Amino acid sequence: MRNGQKSARETEKALCRSTYMMELARGSSYIASTLTPATQQAAIAEVLNEFREQHGADTLLIFCNLLAESLTDRQHKLAAEAVLNFKLP
């Protein structure tokens, strides 16, 4: 991968991270606070559905990636994997 492509991708991620900062903080906190796999799945569905309703499906993939990074930063790696593997209906 050329540096220009990587730089553009990182720039886009940084822009999305700052644009969706509130949604990322709220979503990662909510998902991290769940106690069972069932409540975790319900929280992930709620967070992703709300994001899609507010911002559209076009940015959902990058939001999922940023949400997973946020959960990893919070030491919730299994929750991050669950977000990346979650399929919305």
pLDDT band of 53, cuts 50, 70, 90: very high
**What digits encode the pLDDT tens for the residues 59-81?**
999 999 999 999 999 999 999 99
3-state secondary structure of 42: helix
- pLDDT score for 42: 97
- pLDDT score for 3: 60
41 contacts: CB under 8 Å, gap ≥ 6: 82, 86
Q: Residues 42-46: what's their mean pLDDT?
A: 98
- By C-alpha distance, which of 5, 6, 32, 15 is closest to 66? 15
- pLDDT score for 10: 87
- Angle made by CA atoms 76, 63, 66, in degrees to the nearest 5: 40
User: How many Å apart are CA 49 and CA 24, to the nearest integer?
Assistant: 13
pTM (two decimals): 0.88
